[in-house]
Each structure stands twice: as structure tokens, then as C-alpha cells.
Structure 1
Amino acid sequence: MLWCSLCRKVANDVRVVHVPKCIERRKLWEQILNCSLSVNSTVCDSHFDASQWRSAPIKGQTYKRRRLKADAVPHGEPEPKFVKLGFANSSTQTEDKVINHAIRVENESLRKQNRRLQTEIHSLRQQLEDYKELETSLKTIFTETQINILKSGGKRTVFNATDMSAAICLYTAGPPAYYHLYRKGFPLPSRATLFRWLADVNISTGTLDVVIDLMENEEMPEVDKLCVLSFDEMKVAAAFEHDSSADVDYEPSTYVQLAIARGLNKSWEQPVFFDFSTLMDADTLHSIINKLHKRGYPVVAIVSDLGAGNQTLWTELGISERKNWFTHPADEDLKIFVFSDTPHLIKLVRDQYVESGLIINGKRLTKSTVQQTISHCAKPDVSMSFNITDNHLNIGPLAKQNIKLATQLFSNTTGSFIRRCNALGYNVQNASETADLFKIINDWFAVFNSKSSTSNSIEPTQPYGKQIEIQRGILAKMSEIMSSEILGVGAHRLPFQKGILVNNASLEGLYCYLSEKYEMQYIFTSRLSQDIVENFFIAMRPKGEQFEHPTPLQFKFMLRKYISGLTKLNKPIDK
């Protein structure tokens, strides 16, 4: 095997030259080449130019191999060979070998560069995919304009109506939180921008035509425009006020009536009506429904509580335990199903239970069962942490509005503790019957409170229609209880009995109606409640205090902030 001591590689395709045996000349080669050479070292002939070779004498007609001159020394880099013709191996073969070697070296360099570039391209593609996933995630939080602001590092931009509408809603819900986010660098309009946007917006009591008209511009499938109309009252502070912007005097009012349309299949909501000291009657309701229908938003359900005014409305609409819907005022082929607010019904059942009890299958179930369970769980020898307290039973006027206390009382957990105390031998009156009642009430409330389409192991909490047989069974059990004489023989049915029976029939009727007419497979039943109106009222109250009420003019101005972003559609504005 031929080895070049200077190139440090095998030299099979070239000739080699042995280093001089003379120590002095060998040291000279070492100094010139800057390497260490032994007596057996060899150097490929490409390190010598043509002038360092001498010709051998001719004997006959045969050319012998070339020999180096006595004073020849190699070069550090291979040199192309240009030798005279007529000598052995002095043809262009040496030059071709040098060229081929250079090409191989260059090709290897290009291959390395190509591999490096491919690695960089793969890394850049991965970064691009990561950025696309990040942008997709950001779209669930920010608008397109806000994302562009983040990309540009916070440069000045133009906000559109969608951006301003979302910003105004956020500002109305909590100005301190809005300012905090703005100072932290969130891509939000400034306070001055918000106020300029709100400056020329004016609304008046009655149907909010400006909102309903602009809802028509929203591009959504028909099924996503199906809506539920929820309405309720909120107390306002009585005061004489003058609205200079509209040149209107407001006399003292005791409450404001508010109606909000919300999507049943898709999550959206908009206030569509408000007025002071006004009950919701059939004519007003039909007017709102007609205007929504004209803009392409069919109302398929209405929701209210069972206050005296709303019971009168039910009577006007012909709603009873036998008829749970009324004909759409704009189209006789369409139906509108009536619902009572489920949290309100649960609170009414709780009030009846703790005040005088319920008669189920001939037994009067009272709060004494829960009180006995509380007493037993408080004993030192009982290792049970019961979360129900006397506050769940001895409720005051303010606590009656707390739905959480009612649902905690009528829970499977409460029923399980009652059963366990009874199984341990403690004296718990009507333990099994009370636990069964609590379970059916808990399951019934779960059926009417589904919020997500994610499947889980708890069947009642899934959207109505995904576990239809189990859910229908729960409704049937609850209807059977509410149809019985739970207050005693000959007693009149209380409003919550009628409300629950109507709700059960309306839910089943609405499900069949939507599945047949719009091919909907399930219903998010939490949207058949007044929670959106209650949340709106909380936002409208000064500082968010539960029992602090705005004046009519304050309510109007806060409502204007909430909806005014819609009135500026397609109008850009600087940041």
C-alpha cells in the first residue's frame, strides 16, 4: 500500500518517491514540508514540478522512469505536472489525475455543504410549523389585527369593528383589569380610542334595532343563527335624571327589563331589548321575535323565571302542562318552545323542602333528615367530613338567590352521606327516600346544565341527545314526582311543579323539532337558562356589587358601552 507522508492518505492512483537516505537532505525536506520523515517515508510525485525531474539515458528504444534531480525538494501542495513528451509517464495522465483529485475534493465539499443546507432547511420548516401552530392557538384569544400587532412588535395599526366590539366588552366588564392588560403590552386599543369610538353612539329604550340590524351582517350557517331569547328584570336605583345626549328626562324606575338573544348551536349573544318599569308581554315578545326573524335569526325557545309577570305571559301565550310551545308569529310552520329558568326552579324546590317538606310516595321528606346527618357526622367517632351545614337549610332572603347552596344540598354527595349514616346504624329519618330524591334532582339539573360535547362517564352531564335513553328516563322520573301531590292531597300545584313539567316536555319537543328540521344531533341545555342575563346584570352593577344597583341613566350608558362596537362596522380607527 502506497502512503504519502505529506498528504496523510493512501496514494494508489499516483507514483510515490522515497525520501532521501541522506540525513541532511531528509532534514531539509522536513523543514520545507514541516513534517517528520523516516527513512522509509514516501511522498507522492504530485508534490514535485516538472523542473525538478531529470531524464534517464536511452538504452535501445526503451524509456526508463524519470528520476529526481539531486537538489530537488517537494512542495507543500500538489502541483500540476507539465513534462516534456517522450519520457515514460510524462503524458497527460498525470494532469488528468490531478484534475480528478481536485474534482473529488470539490464534490466532497459540495456534498457537505448540501447536507448542512438540508439540515438548516429542515430546522426552518420545523420552526415554521411551530409558528403556524402558535398562530392558530393565538386566534382563539386574539383577533387577526391583534396577532399582526404582536408580529410587528407593537407597531401602530388600525382596529376594525370586531376588535373594538371585543375591547369594549372587556372594558365594560372590568376597567382596572383592562388597564392592567394594556400596560402589560396586550394588543388592545387605548382608553382614548375607546372613548372616541363611543362618542357618537346613542341608544333608546325598547327594541335595540341598531343591534338587530347589524346582526344581519354576520356570516353564519342557518343552524348557527338559531337562537334562544332570555329575559329578566333587575332592580335599578330610583332617581330623577336627565339624559342630555338624547334630551330625555327619566322618572324614577324600580327595575329594568332586559332581553338577550343567544345562539343555541353556536355560542354568541347580543342584547336586543331593554326598558324601565316594563313587563314582558306577548306583543313586545312577538315584536322582538319578528325583528330577529327578519334578519335571519329564528327564535326556537324563550326562557324566563316564574315571577308573577312571566306567569301572566305564559297564560297569554297559552302555555300549560299540556302545551309547551307556541306558533312563531312570523311563520306558522315554526315553533317556539317555552322554558323556565332551571336554576330558579331548583331554588324554588329547595325553599319548599326546607320550609315545609315534600311528600314523596306517601312520606313527608323534610330537612330534619339532613340535620340529623349533620349532627351524626360531627361526632368524634364518625370519620366523615360532611360539607353541608345549617347555612344550607336556614337560608335568609339574600341567600335564597344563591344557586350554589341549592345544588350542594341536592347533590349525590349529600345523598351518599345520608345513606352511609343510616347504614352505620344512626337514626336518620327517611334516609333512603331522601337520598333517592336528591339523586333524581341532581341528575335532572345535570341534564339541563350540559355545556360541553366532550364525552365522559357521567351520562346526565352530556348534551341532551348523546345519552338520549338515559336522559329521557331521568326526565320521566322527575315528571312523575312533580305530577304527584307532593304538597298533600287536594293541594294546588306550586309554580315550580308546572315549570319542571313544562321544561321536561319542552326539552324533548325541542330536541325532536331540531333534529327533524335542522338535523341537530344534540342540545347544549345550559343555553336554555337565564345565566347570560344574570351575568350581564352583574357586569352592569357598579363595581360588580351583587346588591348595588345602577340608576336608569347609568344602566343605559353601560349598555351603550357594551353594544356600541357593533354600530361601527367596517369603520377603521387608529390605535
Structure 2
Amino acid sequence: MQSHVQSTPVRLLSHPETLAYSWSSTPAAPARAAPSEAPARAAPSEAPASVSTPARAAPSEAPASVSTCGTPSVAAECGDLNVATPIRPHRRVPRRGLGLSGTTSTTATAACRTTSATSNASGHTPSSRRPGYDRPPSVRTPLHCRLWKGDLTISQRRCASLKAEKRELTAELRRERRRHRAEERRWRAEEKRLRTQLSDAEDAVTQLKSALGGIFSDRQLTTLRTGRRVNWEQQDIVRALVIRCCSRKCYQLLKDKFQFPLPGLSTLRRWTRGFRTSPGILDMALQIMRSSADTMTSHERLLVMSFDEITIDPRVAYDSTDDAVYGPNDKMQVVMVRSLCSRWKQPVFFDYNKDVTKDLLHRIIAAVESAGYVVVAMVCDLGPANRKLLWSPKAADGLGIDPEDGFFAHPCDPSRKIFTFADVPHLLKLLRNHILRQGLQLPGGPVIDKKVFCNLLEKDNSEFRLCHFLKWKHITVRGQECQRVYLAAQLLSERVAKAVSHIFGDRYRKEAEFIALVDQAFDTFNSRHVSDGKLHRSAFGLAHTIEDQYSCLLKFTKVMRDARVVGSNSMLPFQKGFVMSSTALRGLYSAVQRHHGLSYLLTSRLNQDCVENFFSQLRGMGAANTNPTAVEAKNRLRLLLIGAAPTVAAATHDDPRESGASVLLEEKEPTYLSATTLDLDHEPPVEPEVPDADVTAVENLVTARQPCPGPAASAGAAPPPASLPSGATGVASLSRQALAYVAGYVAAKCATVDSTLGKITSDASEVPRDERYAWIDTLSRGGLTVPSARWLDEVEQLEVLFTTMHGGDVDRGPGVVRRLAEAAALKFPQLHPYVLRKYAMTRTQLRVREIRRLIGDRERLRKEQPTCSREAKRARLYVHPGD
């Protein structure tokens, strides 16, 4: 009877280091196998060398490896045994500790040696226990026990070593994890710190860019940051050209020594060659004007054309740009257009030693009109060539303009008119010169000459004067001073007229009226703001000013037409210029009002200020070289057109009023259209700091604080009070009146601190009839401050204190103003400290100015002394003895 066992994992041993498992569920093997079953073979390569393996099993014998029920068995060879031993049931060994595979492996048959089989022939039944525990001693083999125990020991040792290695690896893993976490924490802290530094650096860079944005461009900042070369933009090159125009040494110092990011000089030369400026009509300028015409309104395209010439160095010079030689030329003619209603100007023509003729003028006007603009007026001075152009009756030589008409027919459209103006500031200088040198015979009245102004200076000669600005240099002008327009405007001003009338009464009444009329007419021709403190200086054509301005022009035209310079029987060119300009202004206003809808005109745009300022910039670009050659003038003109020239006044003048350009330059000069179209920055000129601010404010208080009166106020202006003397006024009385004027100035400046010091004349019920207020009442049109009687008395006592401290000079010790203010505070403790300090500052500056005036007078007398001696000696030569 066959016994069966359950399937149990069996351990096969093929090598001491190799373990394999197989599943067996075989009963006891039968004696014989089925004939059809193939005998089992053992692989020749797997059999040990000492064991002989049969090639094939006998057919009658049952194969050792196959049971009758199909249960597999393992062929084993153990020592000398060559029997087929059935596989004993064995419990499965966990693979976790041994690291072996627990699946059934057919490769176990390749192992030739096995130790857990029992022979069926012995009659023993396989047991489920482990090998060697239930077998009889006869069945156990020493080889089997020795192999099993050795293998188990090796496995246990290996298992122990693997566990120890695992523990080491686990500990190492924990250490690495701890190190990783520490490194991660350190990395995150470092990342946070770096991010903070990066954010701070970005903020610093942003602040630095914003701070340097007004100094350097983006390309320059890139060069500073990277140190690499960049492609310069147009704005960068223009800014560099501004520095280069100041000085070549300055440019090289900034670029090489101070490492400023600036383009090279070759880059500047190469870039400026692209803007061609050859003598003649400037085609590049007209192209820019043509491209800008579409962006302008019809009013902005109304143009005034002006032309003048500048003296240049006559030396011959070579121009590498045009590959031509220029010279000898001593004059350069420039034609410029400016907008009548906007703030831009543009040179359109220049040439050397060339006068503007009728044909040339027509060609320039046609070229400008073809660019999309409308020329409505023309301005020039009254030089010999220009007089020939304007008034020559020959059609081939001149325009044949009648001064009483003031216009000529438009060359492009004969139905239109171009109104012609003479440069009024230039005419004012000529009028002043003729009055001081020959005298002017007024129509139906006396002759006005320099005696009027000399007598005024002799009378108004104290420290407190009615006309603070008037000096002997206004009368004894010579040389370059004759070109100073502001000297002529101050001499023939309304304030001088009122001072003459106030001091001399009826003696110089006609002369005072003429001076006042000249001042009003000049204000009418020089309006710069829509509304101004002086009525006639407002824009021409306003509803409340047009009547007075028209009547002033008509009256002035009549006087200029009838007056005669002493020694002349006909009108001189400057008189014709006044008549022509007055007629042209009235005609231009009517034309633009009717055809273009303009309601007023700013008449300061009808003179040559734009050309004169252009010449000032042209001279100032060369620093000390104010007399350029033909090539230098041409190159400077090119830089001005592209907007690369620094906006500086002439190098020889600190005060822009002394440049000869105009009486007062406009607050913001018109920019060149070519520079504006190229989107180039054109910085306005920096106004110089004016010294003696309080003294200047005292002088300008008349015009600065006058409100613009309406028609009723101007029509009902009160005459001088009846108490004013009709004859001459004493010097002491004039000094007290001027002191009252200074007291009113201090009261006006300190009105927010102490309002009891004075009142504005328009708010005061009436001006006191005290003689000290006479000058204020004469000057004021409602805006001056009348000092109170108490404050005026205190000022007179403060004057005594000032004279006690300084005498006829001024103390040279430190703290001049502070010591005077402290002394005044001890005498008048009820007055505010600011009031006392303001008075001390103003009074000290007046004394300093008086000292400068006295020094200047002595210097003038010293210079005139030799001339007087030579004239006296020459006169004595013609005196006969006994006569």
C-alpha cells in the first residue's frame, strides 16, 4: 500500500553556497514506470566527475525521477549511491532571512547532489520532518549531515553579516538624512539671505537708475554696468555734442579721465556729417518743416520771416565736409522763420557776403510756402542794403514799399499781403542816439536833447533817488554800449518821464510827454504776455486795450512823421521805420483777424529777437572764440539745427540784457523746429543769480505790482494832485519822497507779518496830502503800497540810526545787517524782528549800490579828463591875445 504526503517545500542542495527550493506532492514511487514514459536523464555536465551516470535507464525499470502518479522526483548522486530518492516533505524556509527564492525551480534538477531522499526499496516511508531526525541510522549519510550543517552555518553567518550591514547602512542612512536636513536648512537660510540681498540690490539699482536717469541715458547706464560698447542712440550723440560744443578739452577730460560713458569724437564727426548745411537754401531744414506741417494747426503755420547778418572772421578756411574752401568772407547772412502763434523757429537760408535781394527773397518765400506754411510778415533792420530792398522804387532792385502802406504783394499769391516791419528795438536805439547827439525837434514844441536827462541826474543825485536805475552811462553811451537796447529803453521809460514831470513841472512838460509816448509805443511793439501790469504792454487787440493801443500808435506815427532831427529837413530812416511798423501792425492785425480768426497778437514776435539770440548762441558756442571763421560758423549752425548747441548767452556778457538782442529776452526762448522734430531735448537757459535782490525789487516794484486796469480805470486816471509844486522840487524833498517809496517797499514785503505798516493805494481811501507821498501818488496806478504815517516816521528815525552807525560810508566789519537790526530792535521793540531785518538788509544794499555809483562816476570823470584838456588846449590855440 502506497503512502502519500502533502506537498511541502523541499530544499535541494547542489552546492554548499547554493540553495534551491521545489514543491513535491508525490507518494511512494512504484516499482515500475509506464512503458510509454521516457526515462529520465541526467545532464552530463551536471554530474560530478567521480560519479558514473548511466546513459539511459532500462525499459523494464521504472525511472527514478518519475512516479507512477506523475509526481516529479530528483535524481541525486551522493557519494557511491546512485539511487532515485524521492523528495521528502520539508517546510518552506522564509526568504526574508536568507534572501533566496521560494518558487518552484525546475533548474533544481540540474543539481546532481541531494540529501533529503529516501530509498523506496528499503521500505521506509518518507517523513515530513527535517532530514536526519526520523531516519534510522542505517539510512543517514554522513555526507548529507555534513553538507546541511555547513550550509546552515554559512547561511546564518551570511544572514548575520547582512543584518549587521543593514544596521550599518540604516545608521549611515540616518546620519545622511540628518546631514541632508541640516544642509537643507542651511541652504534655505542661504537662499533667503541671497534673495534678500538680491532684492536689496535690485532696489538699489532702481534707485540708482532713477537718480542717474536725469544724467545718463539707458545706453550710458548699460555701458557703466557692463563696460561694453553699445550702439549709441541719437539722443546720446546730441547730448555728447552739447559737451563737445563747450570745449574739446572738457569732453576728453570727462571721457578719458573721469570715465564718463560718452561716444568717441569720430562717432560725433561721422554723425554730424549726415546733416548737410551748404550755403544757400537749407533743404534739410525745409524737409523737416514739411514733415512737421501735418502735425501743426493752421495758426501755428503762420510765419514771420526775419533776416540779418553777423560779422565773422574773414580768414580763408577749408571745409572737409563739402571739400571746399571758403573765404575771405566777413559777413554771413541768415534768414529765419518763426511762428506767429507758437514757440518755434527755424533757419532756412544762409550765405556769405550776400545781401537779400528781391529775387532771393521771393525764392525763399516760395520754398517755405511749398513746405505747407503761410508767410504773413517780414522783419529786418534798416541797414543800407535793407533800405534799398524795402524802399527802392525800381522793380528790379527793391520791393518798392511805401512806409505809409507797410506791405508788399505776396510772390505766390498777389491777392495776399506780406506786412513789413522794421526791428523796433533797433529803431529805439537809433532814436536815443539822435536825441543825445543832435536833438529832436518835436512838432510844434521844443527840442528834446541830452540836457533834460543831465538836469534830471543832477537833481536826483542823493542816496535815495526817484530813478534808481538811471546813471551817467545811460547818457554818455559810446562804442559797444550804443548796441545795448536796455539802456535806451530805461532812458526813454515812463518812470523817467514821470520823474522829469515831477521834478521840473512845466519846464519840461512837452519833453516828459514825448518820453511817455515813446515808452507806450515801445510797449505796444513789445508785448510778451496776454495780460500785463502795464496797459500798453498787453497783447495787441484785447477788448480793453485795443482802443488805447490804437490811439497810441496813431499819435506816435504822427509825431514821428512830423518831428525832425536837428540839422535834417526830412524824415530819417528810423522815422520811416517807425511809421512803416505802426502801419504794418494795424494792417496785420486786421488781416489775421479777418482771414485766420486771431483775436490778439503778441507783438514781441514781430522783431529780430530770434535772429539776435541765434547769433548770441552762435558766438557762445566757441567759448572765448566769439568771432568764428566761415567754416566754423557753418559747423556751429549745423549743430544748432540738430539741437546740439548749449543754450548759453554770448561769452562776453554775463547779463542777457546786455547782449544787444532785445530789451528783455522771452521767459522761454522758441526752440528750433529741426531739433524738436528729432525729439531732442533743448534745455532752457539757466538764469543767473541776480545780486542785490532787494535793490532790484525796489527798482522794479513799479511794474511788478501794477494790476492791469480796465477801460474805466485807464480812462479815469487821476491827474497829479494839486498840491504838487508846478516848479522845481528841492533835492531834500526828493530824497524824502524816495525814502517814503523805500518804506512802502518794506511794508509790502512784510505785509504778512505786520499789516499796519501800509496799504495798497487801491485799498486806501485816499493818499495823504503830505509832500512825502507825492512820488508814490505819481507812480502808482493802484498797486503800490503807501506806508502809514507811523511807519514812515519810524523809517526816518531808523535812517538817523543808520547814518550814526555808518556815516557816509559803510562799516566793513562782520555782521553789518545783524548789528543794525539789533540796534533798531533796541530803539523800536514793538516792531517785528523780520521787519527790522528786512529794512536793515534793504538799507545796507542801497548804501553799497550808492558807493558803486560814486566810484563809477569818478572813473568816468577820470577817463573824460584828458579829452577835456585836449579840447581846451585846442581852443586856446585859436584865441588871439587881446580878444
Quote how far apart the aligned CAs of 1:402 are.
Answer: 0.6
Quote how far apart the aligned CAs of 1:384 are.
Answer: 3.9
- In structure 1, how many angstroms separate the alpha carbons of the residues matched to 2:367 and 2:616? 27
Q: Deviations over 1:248-273 (max 9, x none)?
A: 11121111101111111111001111
Which residue number corresponds to residue 321 of structure 1? 403
- Structure 1 residues 384 and 501: alpha-carbon distance in aligned structure 2, compared to 1, 3 A threshold: closer
Quote how far apart the aligned CAs of 1:332 are.
Answer: 2.1
Q: Deviations over 1:526-563 (max 9, x none)?
A: 11111111111111115567993211011011111112
Is residue 364 of structure 1 aligned with residue 364 of structure 2? no
Quote how far apart the aligned CAs of 1:322 are.
Answer: 2.7
- In structure 2, how many angstroms separate the alpha carbons of the residues matched to 1:452 and 1:369? 32
Which residue number corresponds to residue 281 of structure 2? 207
- Structure 1 residues 456 and 245: alpha-carbon distance in aligned structure 2, compared to 1, 3 A threshold: closer
Quote how far apart the aligned CAs of 1:199 are.
Answer: 3.6
- Structure 1 residues 568 and 531: alpha-carbon distance in aligned structure 2, compared to 1, 3 A threshold: closer
The 10-residue stretch of structure 1 (366-375 or 326-335) with the greater mean CA deviation from structure 2 = 326-335
User: What SS does structure 2 have at the residue aligned with 1:556?
Assistant: helix
- In structure 2, how many angstroms separate the alpha carbons of the residues matched to 1:215 and 1:188? 33
- In structure 2, how many angstroms separate the alpha carbons of the residues matched to 1:214 and 1:228? 18
Alignment of 1:521-536 (within 5 A): 521-536=599-614
Which residue number corresponds to residue 138 of structure 1? none
- Structure 1 residues 173 and 479: alpha-carbon distance in aligned structure 2, compared to 1, 3 A threshold: farther
1:538 pairs with one of 577, 595, 616: 616
Which residue number corresponds to residue 432 of structure 1? 509
Is this contact kept in 1: 2:524–2:537, CA < 8 A?
Answer: yes
Quote how far apart the aligned CAs of 1:153 are.
Answer: 11
Quote how far apart the aligned CAs of 1:174 are.
Answer: 4.9
- In structure 1, how many angstroms separate the alpha carbons of the residues matched to 2:566 and 2:511? 17
Q: Deviations over 1:342-364 (max 9, x none)?
A: 11000010011001111112311
Which residue number corresponds to residue 508 of structure 1? 586
Quote how far apart the aligned CAs of 1:175 are.
Answer: 5.9
- In structure 1, how many angstroms separate the alpha carbons of the residues matched to 2:304 and 2:559? 28
- Structure 1 residues 248 and 568: alpha-carbon distance in aligned structure 2, compared to 1, 3 A threshold: farther
Bigger CA radius of gyration: 2
Q: Deviations over 1:122-147 (max 9, x none)?
A: xxxxxxxxxxxxxxxxxxxxxxxx88
- In structure 1, how many angstroms separate the alpha carbons of the residues matched to 2:240 and 2:535? 39
- Structure 1 residues 231 and 383: alpha-carbon distance in aligned structure 2, compared to 1, 3 A threshold: closer
Is this contact kept in 2: 1:231–1:258, CA < 8 A?
Answer: yes
Is this contact kept in 2: 1:212–1:295, CA < 8 A?
Answer: yes
Is this contact kept in 2: 1:203–1:560, CA < 8 A?
Answer: yes
Equivalent AA in structure 2 for residue 248 of structure 1? A
RMSD: 3.6
Instruction: Tell me the number of residue pairs that the alignment of Structure 1 and Structure 2 aligns.
Output: 417
User: What SS does structure 1 have at the residue aligned with 2:300?
Assistant: helix
> Aligned residues: percent identity?
29
2:388 pairs with one of 299, 312, 328: 312
- In structure 1, how many angstroms separate the alpha carbons of the residues matched to 2:675 and 2:460? 59
Which residue number corresponds to residue 366 of structure 2? 290
2:354 pairs with one of 278, 303, 307: 278
Which residue number corresponds to residue 475 of structure 2? 393
The 10-residue stretch of structure 1 (192-201 or 267-276) with the greater mean CA deviation from structure 2 = 192-201
Is this contact kept in 2: 1:342–1:529, CA < 8 A?
Answer: yes
Q: Deviations over 1:228-261 (max 9, x none)?
A: 1110011111111121221211121111101111
Equivalent AA in structure 2 for residue 366 of structure 1? D
- Structure 1 residues 293 and 442: alpha-carbon distance in aligned structure 2, compared to 1, 3 A threshold: same
- Structure 1 residues 508 and 153: alpha-carbon distance in aligned structure 2, compared to 1, 3 A threshold: same
- Structure 1 residues 338 and 189: alpha-carbon distance in aligned structure 2, compared to 1, 3 A threshold: farther
Q: Which has the higher contact order (CA 8 A, sep 6+)?
A: 1
Is this contact kept in 2: 1:343–1:403, CA < 8 A?
Answer: yes
Q: Deviations over 1:500-536 (max 9, x none)?
A: 0000000010001001111011111111111111111
- Structure 1 residues 340 and 208: alpha-carbon distance in aligned structure 2, compared to 1, 3 A threshold: same
- In structure 1, how many angstroms separate the alpha carbons of the residues matched to 2:403 and 2:288? 38
- In structure 2, how many angstroms separate the alpha carbons of the residues matched to 1:536 and 1:342? 18
User: What SS does structure 2 have at the residue aligned with 1:418?
Assistant: helix
Alignment of 1:398-413 (within 5 A): 398-413=480-495
Mark the runs of 5 or more structure 1 residues left unpaired by the alignment: 1-145, 424-428
Alignment of 1:248-263 (within 5 A): 248-263=324-339
- In structure 2, how many angstroms separate the alpha carbons of the residues matched to 1:150 and 1:239? 40
Which residue number corresponds to residue 137 of structure 1? none
- In structure 2, how many angstroms separate the alpha carbons of the residues matched to 1:416 and 1:280? 43
Mark the runs of 5 or more structure 2 residues left unpaired by the alignment: 1-212, 224-229, 393-397, 644-673, 681-883
Alignment of 1:442-481 (within 5 A): 442-453=519-530, 455-466=531-542, 467-481=545-559
- Structure 1 residues 407 and 490: alpha-carbon distance in aligned structure 2, compared to 1, 3 A threshold: closer
Q: Deviations over 1:22-53 (max 9, x none)?
A: xxxxxxxxxxxxxxxxxxxxxxxxxxxxxxxx
Is residue 558 of structure 1 aligned with residue 641 of structure 2? no
1:334 pairs with one of 404, 416, 424: 416
- Structure 1 residues 470 and 170: alpha-carbon distance in aligned structure 2, compared to 1, 3 A threshold: farther
Is residue 378 of structure 1 aligned with residue 461 of structure 2? yes
Quote how far apart the aligned CAs of 1:397 are.
Answer: 2.3
Quote how far apart the aligned CAs of 1:323 are.
Answer: 2.4
- Structure 1 residues 546 and 351: alpha-carbon distance in aligned structure 2, compared to 1, 3 A threshold: farther
- In structure 2, how many angstroms separate the alpha carbons of the residues matched to 1:438 and 1:285? 36
- Structure 1 residues 368 and 518: alpha-carbon distance in aligned structure 2, compared to 1, 3 A threshold: same
Is this contact kept in 2: 1:169–1:562, CA < 8 A?
Answer: no
- In structure 1, how many angstroms separate the alpha carbons of the residues matched to 2:483 and 2:379? 18
2:323 pairs with one of 247, 272, 280: 247
Is this contact kept in 2: 1:211–1:567, CA < 8 A?
Answer: no
Quote how far apart the aligned CAs of 1:278 are.
Answer: 0.5
Is this contact kept in 1: 2:302–2:374, CA < 8 A?
Answer: yes
Q: Deviations over 1:352-406 (max 9, x none)?
A: 10011111123111110110110111257x7545432221112112111110110
Quote how far apart the aligned CAs of 1:334 are.
Answer: 2.0
Which residue number corresponds to residue 646 of structure 2? none
- In structure 1, how many angstroms separate the alpha carbons of the residues matched to 2:578 and 2:376? 19
Equivalent AA in structure 2 for residue 249 of structure 1? V
